[in-house]
Amino acid sequence: MTPRWIRLWATSGAMLLLLGCSHFAAGPPTSTPPKTTASAATKAGEAASPAGDSAAKTGAVATDRKEARLAPQGALAEKSPTQMTTSSTSATASSDSMDEECIIEEEDEEFQAGIANGKQPGLNRALYLCRLSQSYWQRGDLDKAIDTLDQAYALILDVDPASDPYLLQEKEDLRYTISRRILEIYSSRHVVINGKRNSIPLIINKHVQDEIDSFTTGRERDFFLDAYRRSGKYRPRMETALKEAGLPAELSWLPLIESGYKVTALSPARALGLWQFIPSTGYRYNLNRDKYIDERLDPEKSTRGAIEYMKELHEMFGDWATVLAGYNCGENRVLRTIQSQNINYLDNFWDLYERLPRETARYVPRFLATLHIINSPEKYGLNAVAVEPPLLFETVNVPRQAQLKSIAQATGIDDVLLRELNAELRQGILPEDGYELRVPPGTADLVLAKIDEIPAYRPARVVVVQHKVRKGDTLETLSKKYRSDAKTIMLANNMRRPEPLTVGKTVRVPLVEASSDERPAPAHAPTQAAKAPAHKPEPIEHVVRPGDSLWNIAKRYGTTTQEIERINRVTAANITLGQVLKIVPGATPLQVKAEPPKPRPAATYTVRKGDTLQSVAKSHNTTVERLLALNKMKPHATIQPGQKILVE
């Protein structure tokens, strides 16, 4: 619940309590009413005591004059004056008649007092009609209760407060209270006596018919049929959950117009999943998300969230059409529309229709059109459309982080089906602390048997290279040189749009090393590889990263530093971070157990005046990184004349 909603209900609840509303259809508890000075609401509160107590307190009976002047037209037509004057003392009179007569007696006293004090008689009369309407409502006569409130509303519209601020406040308080009371009476029509919500009324009007035509013969026919086919995967479980929660089963068709039953559907407003939750609303209903999981994508979890949300909306608005409008555009938007009514009060959704956003205004007719089509499959040709079978699964606990594609490869389960069953995994990667994986029925034991063969996931490593812009450099040339992309470079340098690079400026270029799986090599791999026919290896490209030297690159790819220098026309001293080297691999460790090339013997060098690490490395045909490693020096270390260091 939002704070704005709470304030609205607290305000309306306070006025309803003052008017003696001891029965609510589906609203929250009332709060303590604020103190006002001789307001109309205060007068109404005096009628909150039981009718029997009022009768005993006043000890008066209604007269013919009072009935003729105070009772609404037709309200007391069935009673004669004699019956009215004797009903409060008769032992056989009904309690309802006594309630009504006591209201009349109290109202007559207040009416006379109001005239004596110069108050508007219309307000007193409206107060009486409010109390009479409350009596009708408690007896279950909703039509008469609404008619009586209509009369009260018409009376207060004729009241002219002139420059009296107290009278103006009384008028507005009473007008707002009557509006809310009518909305509550309408709400009570949609709540069954046992407390469960009834089915959604299938209204047909021009707006609904237009949507039916669009779904069946118009441009949205293909969309509707495709969504109808997909509904078989998820709707049976949704229907079961809705019935268990006491909500209409027809709401299981709501995702058809929300997402077309596409789990990954994403709206321009960033609403995601079958039920189209935006992130903030998702958090309200425990649909969490992090780097690996977004529970808005989970059909079952999002269905539970939607049920909780619609329950709250139904308690707020009462009728399902207004609930659906609130679900689409938010309850605050609907409440603001209700509050904006300065003249007419709002009875139901169709009073709000033209005041809501166009998308929301169409939302309810589209849903009602869907129900009409679903309920008449032969009429609209749905009986020939085969729906997809439900998604069935069982769960198995995977205790470590892994990729879905690796699990599919190890077990033989279809990769696409595995992704569909575990739609909440945003990147197809299990969380670091393990996961309850959904797998097709009958495959849980297979996954457990293969659990040790599933390789652990190793996240990608990002290295950022500092590039000094030269003449002719552009985002495109940098992305080609470093095998990156322009968007990534722009993001790393806080660039909103592509723009020319300034010569001499340093640009950050992210280099992303692809994620991989750490898989132990099979023991028999060398034997199989040795039997493989010899072939000429294809050249590959290697991006120079921090710590790389020609020696360790050659060791990694089973080649020699001389071969790398020959192919790329470089020396060990002039390779740079981010540089792309072409390498022809030699025999890899999986093919033969080749010994790595032996490092050159280390020699001692005495630092001279003017020497730097860069100059020493260049003169000895090595790299600064190699010098630092040989001498166990820190990256920013300096050398002094006379210092002895190791060189190759």
pLDDT per position as a tens digit, 364-384:
999 999 999 999 999 998 888
Averaged confidence pLDDT in the chain = 74
Q: Which of 469, 494, 519 marks a domain boundary?
A: 519
Taking a C-beta distance cutoff of 8 angstroms, is the pair 611, 639 a contact? yes
- What does the longest C-alpha to C-alpha distance in the chain come to? 129
Specify whether the backbone of 558 is left (phi greater than 0), alpha (psi in -120 to 50) or beta: left
Q: How many domains does the chain have?
A: 5
Q: Do 240 and 176 fall within a single domain? A: no
Q: Do 307 and 428 fall within a single domain? A: no
Please identify which of the residues 184, 250, 258, 424 carries the catalytic annotation.
258
Q: Do 400 and 281 fall within a single domain? A: no
Q: Is 258 a catalytic residue?
A: yes
Residue 537 pLDDT: 61
Residue 348 located in a structural domain: yes
Residue 421 located in a structural domain: yes
Higher pLDDT, 642 or 26: 642
Residue 536 located in a structural domain: no
The structure tokens 């470590």 sit at 400
Q: Which of 188, 217, 247 marks a domain boundary?
A: 188
Q: Do 224 and 156 fall within a single domain? A: no
pLDDT level of residue 538 (50, 70, 90 thresholds): low
Q: Which of 499, 519, 539 marks a domain boundary?
A: 519
First to last CA, the chain: 72
Residue 573 located in a structural domain: no
Helices (H), 264-348: 279-284, 299-317, 320-329, 331-339
Q: Do 92 and 211 fall within a single domain? A: no
| SS3 state at 414 | coil
Phi/psi of residue 645, each to 5°? -130, 160
Helices (H), 159-271: 165-188, 206-216, 221-244, 254-258
Domain CATH for 617: 3.10.350.10
Q: Do 329 and 250 fall within a single domain? A: yes
Chain centre distance of CA 172 = 37
Phi/psi of residue 506, each to 5°? -90, 130
Instruction: Kindly report which listed range (189-203, 518-532, 568-582) carries the lowest average pLDDT score.
Output: 518-532
Instruction: Kindly report which listed range (26-30, 553-557, 592-596) carries the lowest average pLDDT score.
Output: 26-30
∠ CA 185-191-197 to the nearest 5 degrees?
A: 145
Residue 531 located in a structural domain: no
Measured between alpha carbons, how far is 627 from 281 in angstroms, rounded to an integer?
Answer: 57
Residue 518 pLDDT: 52
Taking a C-beta distance cutoff of 8 angstroms, is the pair 211, 365 a contact? yes
Mean pLDDT confidence for 308-322: 86
Residue 51 pLDDT: 35
Task: Tell me which amino acid residue 475 is.
Answer: L
Q: Do 17 and 110 fall within a single domain? A: yes
Q: Do 403 and 325 fall within a single domain? A: no
Phi/psi of residue 500, each to 5°? -60, 145
Residue 58 located in a structural domain: yes
Measured between alpha carbons, how far is 55 from 45 in angstroms, rounded to an integer?
Answer: 16
377-419 pLDDT, tens digit each = 999 988 889 999 999 999 999 988 999 999 999 999 999 999 9
Tokens of 341: 């009514």
Residue 40 located in a structural domain: yes
Measured between alpha carbons, how far is 105 from 431 in angstroms, rounded to an integer?
Answer: 72
Q: Do 89 and 152 fall within a single domain? A: yes
Q: Do 230 and 294 fall within a single domain? A: yes
Strands (E), 411-560: 435-439, 456-458, 461-468, 506-513, 516-518, 540-543
Phi/psi of residue 613, each to 5°? -60, -40
Is residue 576 pLDDT above 60, yes or no? yes
Residue 597 located in a structural domain: no
∠ CA 123-127-133 to the nearest 5 degrees?
A: 140
Measured between alpha carbons, how far is 45 from 35 in angstroms, rounded to an integer?
Answer: 11
Entry pTM = 0.52
Range of the domain at 626: 603-647
Q: Do 362 and 487 fall within a single domain? A: no
Q: Do 234 and 174 fall within a single domain? A: no
